[in-house]
Amino acid sequence: MSRSYYYYRRGVKKPRSKLKIAAIACLCFGVVGIGGLKVAELQPGESDTSPIVSSLKETASRPAVIPPISLPNPLPWPEKGIAAYSVPTDKLAVASVDKDKSVPIASLTKIITVLAVMREKPLEPGQQGPSITLTEKDIAIYNEYIRKDGTVTPVAAGQKITQYQAMQAIMHVSSNNMADMLAIWAFGSIENYTRYANNMLQELGLENTRVADDASGYSSNNVSTAKEIATLSFLYLQNPVLREITQQPQATIPIIGTIRNTNSFINEGDVFGLKAGFTGDAGRCFIVASIRKTPEDKEEISVAVVLGSDSITMAAKDAAKILETGNRDHDTIVK
């Protein structure tokens, strides 16, 4: 809600004779500027009822009004990077820059990956989904990410993993090879996946978000804006299965064993980490969210995103600070 402040100084009525004396006195002292009006000396034979003196009287009797001042959004935007805060149910979405441009988003891309997979192969709460048997092709994907120094989880030919477990590995530890594996399993190839995902993004109205080359976000051709990542995060959290995965502190995956949710280090109160990401081109990126009840007992999801920070810890802390401030003061934020 935009607020502007006006300041008023009410004109005080004075006896007519005193006003005349004051006006004539000012004129007698030469050139006077009042309210932006330049007044010349009273010339011989010129009465105080002349247009100049009449204008002076009218100006002096008006209250002085300072133009409205628009207050800036009260959000603590980070010194480094691009950020956004969003409460979609309140139709609120603001960014730290006037033009929220598309930039590489690193592993935040994995939100798009699992949204696309869940759209194509939906699960209900409590379901594990199909069991996927890994092959030599999956080992090749693993080895390729090892070569590129990407984040991976070990795999073996013949290993079985469920759709749900694969999504846990993707979201908890940002497994690049699992992201590509799951996309290929669901859509037949990375090319089919990117085509499907980009169509989905267009249908959602996210014109500045595109995926390319992989399902992991390793490629810098996976791009979005801070605002659109916030929208995708909201859609992600509306899915009860994906919300459950994000809010788990850990999970057990075949061969790997127990994995910790690496996004949860920022969790405090109703604020939780949703996804971290990093590449050389994207910098450090982080998403935090909260799910609260309104006074009307309705659910309210709010999201804060930081892209292009210098460190994951800084990105997470900045995002959490934005979220906490926005949740406290969001009625004062200009939409």
Predicted confidence (pLDDT) per residue in 228-279, tens digit: 999 999 999 999 999 999 999 999 998 889 999 999 999 999 999 999 999 9
Q: Average pLDDT, stretch 298-303?
A: 93
Residue 147: pLDDT over 70: yes
Pairing of strands 283-293, 82-87: unpaired
Residue 207: pLDDT over 80: yes
Predicted confidence (pLDDT) per residue in 13-37, tens digit: 334 444 343 333 333 344 334 333 3
Q: Count Cβ atoms below 10 Å from residue 50 Cβ, excluding itself.
A: 13
pLDDT of residue 72: 55
pLDDT of residue 53: 43
Q: What span, in angstroms and rounded, lies between the C-alpha atoms of 155 and 177? A: 9
How would you class 315 by CB atoms within 10 Å of its CB: exposed for 0-12, middle for 13-18, buried for 19 or more?
Answer: buried
Would you list the domain boundaries of the chain? 4-69, 82-332
Residue 222: pLDDT over 80: yes
Please, what is the Cα angle at 283 between 282 and 286, to 5 degrees? 95
Q: Average pLDDT, stretch 146-159?
A: 96
Residue 70: pLDDT over 60: no
Q: What is the third-level CATH fold of 82-332?
A: Beta-lactamase (3.40.710)
Q: What span, in angstroms and rounded, lies between the C-alpha atoms of 93 and 238? A: 17
pTM (two decimals): 0.78
Q: What span, in angstroms and rounded, lies between the C-alpha atoms of 25 and 27? A: 5
